[in-house]
Chain A
Amino acid sequence: QKEVEQDPGPLSVPEGAIVSLNCTYSNSAFQYFMWYRQYSRKGPELLMYTYSSGNKEDGRFTAQVDKSSKYISLFIRDSQPSDSATYLCAMSPQGAQKLVFGQGTRLTINP
């Protein structure tokens, strides 16, 4: 069993839709949870981070962590074509070091 599982998609939705991206994990020691966005032919860049359980909101993006279920989610409201990218979840027991990444979900927002 992989430590982090993420549906690779691809996922295609119309502009303005609410998008839900998810990851499950097996290591209960994970405390730091991150979402990276990767545009085509670019390096990943940090989108959001959450420490331990709970929700975090940043504009149109909301990150949720449910440690009891070992499940994290990223919601995108009012999705835009510029949100088209691959989204990678990442997690670690100790901050930015030794991140374990999911496979990435390729998302396309259609105008």
Chain B
Amino acid sequence: NAGVTQTPKFRILKIGQSMTLQCTQDMNHNYMYWYRQDPGMGLKLIYYSVGAGITDKGEVPNGYNVSRSTTEDFPLRLELAAPSQTSVYFCASSPRSGRPADTQYFGPGTRLTVL
């Protein structure tokens, strides 16, 4: 299993441009998440999905959109990029069983700079 994969690894955007961050998991997990991580600020949840066709907002959804058409893929769309969206973006997935041993599995991250 490749686990959670993210593309691209790095990207520089100009203010006002748009882009899609790709996330794919091959573990057949129901739940998928998008986080952003700013220096010294931990992980903040942007959007999450409990299954194909179902998405919901997290703590910091403004400026982002998501879709979940398949179990495997959960792309994050940035419209009209702003410098405040400069961050490292992590995608994660987890199973639905709710057992204590379950966890979120993270991808390697996408480093985005908006200039």
Interface, chain A (partner B; CB < 8 A): 4, 6, 8, 32, 34, 41-46, 49-51, 88, 94-99, 101-104
Contact indicator per residue, chain B 28-40, by CB within 8 Å of chain A (1) or not (0): 0001000000001
Q: Which residues of B contact A97 (CB under 8 A)?
A: 31, 50, 94, 96, 98
Known interface pairs A95-B100, A96-B103, A99-B104. Does A41 touch B42 (Cβ–Cβ under 8 Å)? no
Which 5 A/B pairs are nearest by Cβ-Cβ distance? A43-B106, A51-B100, A96-B94, A95-B98, A96-B102
Interface size on B, residues (CB 8 A): 27
Contact among B4, B31, B42, B94 for A103, CB-based, below 8 A: B42
Q: Is the interface of B mostly helix, strand, loop or mixed?
A: loop
Q: Are A43 and B40 in contact (CB under 8 A)?
A: no
Interface, chain B (partner A; CB < 8 A): 4, 31, 40-45, 48, 50, 90, 92, 94-104, 106-109
Q: Which residues of A contact B40 (CB under 8 A)?
A: 8, 103-104
Known interface pairs A44-B90, A97-B94. Does A49 touch B103 (Cβ–Cβ under 8 Å)? yes
Q: Are A96 and B95 in contact (CB under 8 A)?
A: yes
Q: Is the interface of A mostly helix, strand, loop or mixed?
A: loop
